[in-house]
Structure 1
C-alpha cells in the first residue's frame, strides 16, 4: 500500500469475496487500536460490532454482489476498547490479479453523531417545554438558540466539506495536466511518421507512452500500462517517465531499457511490498537505415506490424511484466521490414471485450489512407465500444508509418 493511501485521513481496506481482510491502511489500524497482524487475514466480523455483523451479511454483501458497489452505508466498528465507532462506508468490487476483491473506504462519523445527538436533545427539550408548559419562555429561547447554533455549525462543516471537494478536484485537474505535458508530440519526416492517442478514464491514468528520435536513423517507441487506475498508478507512471526518456535518448538496447525499468520498480517498493505495482510494456528500437526493428514485449498486448501487402504479424509477449519478479530476463526479438509498413501499439483499454482482434481488420481495410485518418477510424471504433459496453478504461495507442 503506498504511503499516501496508508496514512490517508480515512480508513481503507480490501476484502476477498469471502470477507477476509486482504489489506488495511495504518489510519484504520490506529482508529481500531489493533496491530496489523491481529486483523490481516481475518474475517471483517473481527472489527464489526454484533449488529454491524448482521447488517454486513444481510445488506452489504448482497448489495455488492448485485451492484458491484456501495455508497454511504452506515455501520459501526468495534475497536480494541469495545466502544462502537460509527462509520460511513463506500465500497466497490473489481477483479485484481484474477481475484474478485472489494475495496472499502470508511469515514468515522463520531463528530457528526455528536452534533446530531445534540440537535435531537435540543429539539426534544423545546418540544417538552411547549407540551408540558413547564418551562418559561426564557428557557425556550435558550433551547432554540442552542439549536440554531448547532445548525450553523453543521452548515459551516458542510461548507468546509464542499470547499475540500473543490480543492481536491482542482489539484487532480492540475495533476492531469502535468501528466499530459510529459507525452511526446507527433514525429513526421521523410523516414517515419508517428501519431498517438491518449485519454484517461478518470482524472489520472496508469497509461503512458513516449517516442523519441535518437539519431539520424534511429527511433525509440515505448508504451506502458501500470496495473490499476487513478492516483497510485499515475504516480508510478510519472516516476517511470524520466527514466525511460533518458534511457531511450541514450540509444541503449531494448533489453537494457526494460531491465532498468524493472530494477526501478523493484527499488521503488523495496520496503513497501504491500504497495507493489507491476507494469506491462513494449519497447521498439527502429533503425530506418538498416530497416530493422528490435523489440521487447513485457507482458503487454501484442503490437501489430502490417507490411506493404497488408499481411500482419503480432509482436507477442517475450517476457513477464516489469516489476513482477526480481532478476527477470528480457528477451529481444528482431525483424527487418520493407518501407511502407505500419505499426500499431496499444494498451488493454483499446481492446474490444467481445473481439480482441478487432483492430486487425481496421488496419487492413484502411492500409492506404493517411495515418492521421486511420487514427480517427480507431477513435471512432473506441467510441462505439463505449456506447455498447459502457466501459470506462484508459485509452492509449500509437500508430507508426515507416516510409
Structure 2
C-alpha cells in the first residue's frame, strides 16, 4: 500500500466481492488496536463490525453499493480488538474489478467540548474586568429568574395535563393498531403463531396472515424504519393496502410492487418525511406443498425441515421505498410435512448473538409450536432484562408449522 495512504489521517480498506478484507492501512489497524494488518487481511469484514452494523452492511450497504456503485457518509460502528465500539463515517465505491474501496473517518465529539472551553475562558476574562457590571446583571437575572420560575410552574402544570391526555390518545391508538393484527391460524394443514412487542406505545412493525383459498395462505411481515407515531402511521396505511391485495389472491410480485409504489408516491414531494421499510411475503400452497416468497431487504426467514436441516430465505430485493421501478421476482421451495418457518424483524435478531435463533429453533424441534414460541419469547425477555438497550426496537416474529 502507498506510504501516504498507509499513514493517512483516516482509515482506508479494500474489500473483495465476498466482503473479505484485501488491504487495510496502518491508521485503521491502530484505530482497531490490532498488532498488525496481517491479522485482518483475508478475514471477513464482520470481524471488525458491531452486531448491528453487520446487519446494516448486509441489508443496506451491499445492496446500495451494487445498485449505485458508491455509498456516502454511512454511519456505522466498528469493534476494536478489545471490544470497544468506535463510531465512524463510511464512504465507499465499487471498482470495475469488483473491489470495494472504503474510506473510514472516526467520529469524535471534540468540537463541542473545545468550543465550551474557549467560551468559558472568554467569559472568565470578561468577568474579571467587568465584575461590578456582572453583579448588577446577576441581580437583574435573579429577578427575571424568579418570574420565569413562576411561569415554568404554570407551564409544567399545563404540560402534565397535556402529557396525560397524549398518553391516553396513544394507548387508544395502540389498541386500534393491535386490533388490526390478524389472529393465529390453526388447522390440520397449517399452524401460524405470532409474537408482537412495541418498543413504544406505537410500533413500526406490522404483519398479517390470511387464508386466501382452502389450500393457499399468505403471510407478510414488514418493518418500517424508525419507531413511534410516524412509523405507526405508515404501517397502518400499508396494512390496509396489503390486506386488500393478499385477500384477493394477488401474485406476490404484484403485492410487493404495489407496496413499493405506494411508498414512493406517498413521499415523492417530501423527502424530510421519507420512510422505507423491509418486508418479506410468503404464499404457502398446502395442496402442492410449496412456499413462494419475496424478501425485500428483510432479515432472512429460517426454514427448518423435518430432518432438522435449516435453510435461510435470503433477501431477493432492496427494501421497499428505496429505489424506483424495481423488478420483483419470487422464489419457490417445496416442503414436507413437519417443516417449520420462522419470520422475524431486526429487533429480534439484534437482541441475540449471531445464530442464536438457529439454535433456538433447532433445540425446540421436538416440542410443539406453542412451546417453541414460548422459548423464543422467554429468551427475548431475558435479554431485555440483561441489556435494557434492546428495549429500544420493536420486536415481532411469526412461527409457521406445515
Whole-angstrom distance in 2 between the partners of 1:159 and 1:55:
35
What secondary structure is seen at the aligned counterpart in 1 of 2:302? Answer: strand
Residue matched to 1:308: 306
How far is the alpha carbon of 1:387 from its aligned partner?
A: 2.8
Partner of 1:288: 286
SS at match of 2:275: coil
Secondary structure of the structure 2 residue equivalent to 1:297: strand
Matching residue within 233, 236, 252 for 1:235: 233
- Aligned pair count? 272
Post-superposition Cα deviations, 1:78-134, rounded to whole Å, max 9, x if no partner, equal xxxxxxxxxxxxxxxxxxxxxxxxxxxxxxxxxxxxxx97981697xxxxxxxxxxx
CA, structure 1 residues 317+121, in 2 after alignment: closer, same or farther (shift >3 Å)? closer
Q: Rate the CA distance shift 1:319–1:152 in 2: closer, same or farther, 3 A.
A: closer
Give, in angstroms, the shift of residue 330 of structure 1. 1.3
Once residues 122 and 303 of structure 1 are traced to their aligned partners in structure 2, the CA distance between those partners, rounded to angstroms, is 58
Partners of 1:355 and 1:296 in 2: how far apart?
26
How far 1:167 moved relative to its partner?
A: 1.1
Residue deviations 1:8-45 (CA, integer Å, cap 9, x gap): xxxxxxxx999xxxxxxxxxxxxxxxxxxxxxxxxxxx
Q: Which residue of 2 aligns with 1:400?
A: 400
Aligned to 1:252, which of 250, 253, 257? 250
CA contact (8 A) 1:220 1:284 kept: yes
Q: Secondary structure at the match of 2:202?
A: coil
Name the TM-score, length of structure 2 as normaliser: 0.63
Q: Structure 1 length normalisation: TM-score?
A: 0.63
Give me the whole-angstrom Cα distance separating, in 2, the residues matched to 1:372 and 1:183.
18
Give 1:157 shift: 2.7
| Partner residue of 1:120 out of 135, 140, 143 | 143
- 1:312–1:179: structure 2 CA closer, same or farther, 3 Å change rule? same
Change (3 A) 1:122 1:215: closer
3-state SS of paired residue (1:238): helix
The 1-side partners of 2:325 and 2:171 are apart by: 37
Shift of 1:155: 3.9
CA distance in 2, matches of 1:122, 1:196: 54
Alpha-carbon spacing, 1:159–1:290, altered in 2? closer, same or farther (3 Å): same
CA contact (8 A) 2:203 2:227 kept: yes
1:388 CA drift (Å) = 3.1
Aligned to 1:58: 116
Q: In 2, distance between residues paired with 1:349 and 1:342?
A: 21
On the 8 A contact 1:298/1:321 being kept in 2, the answer is yes
Deviates most, 272-281 or 194-203: 272-281
Larger radius of gyration, structure 1 or 2?
A: 1
Equivalent residue for 2:321, pick from 298, 320, 323: 323
Displacement of 1:222 in angstroms is 0.4
Which structure 2 residue ranges, 5 or more long, are not aligned? Answer: 1-74, 77-86, 88-110, 118-138
How many Å apart are 1:252 and its aligned residue? 1.1
Q: Which runs of 5+ in 1 are unaligned?
A: 1-15, 19-52, 60-115, 124-146
For the 8 Å contact 1:352–1:358, the answer to whether it is kept is: no
Which residue does 1:336 correspond to in 2? 334
Q: Using the alignment, how far apart are the partners of 1:246 and 1:301 within structure 2? A: 25
> Paired residue for 2:370?
372
Instruction: Show the 5 A alignment for 1:259-278.
Output: 259-278=257-276
Deviation at 1:363?
1.2
Partner secondary structure for residue 315 of structure 2: coil
Q: CA RMSD in A?
A: 2.5
SS of aligned partner of 2:214: coil
The residue aligned with 1:49 is none
Q: 1:184 aligns with which of 182, 188, 195?
A: 182
- Residue of structure 2 equivalent to 1:384: 382
The alignment partner of 1:211 has SS state of strand
Cα distance change on mapping 1:54 and 1:243 into 2, 3 Å: closer
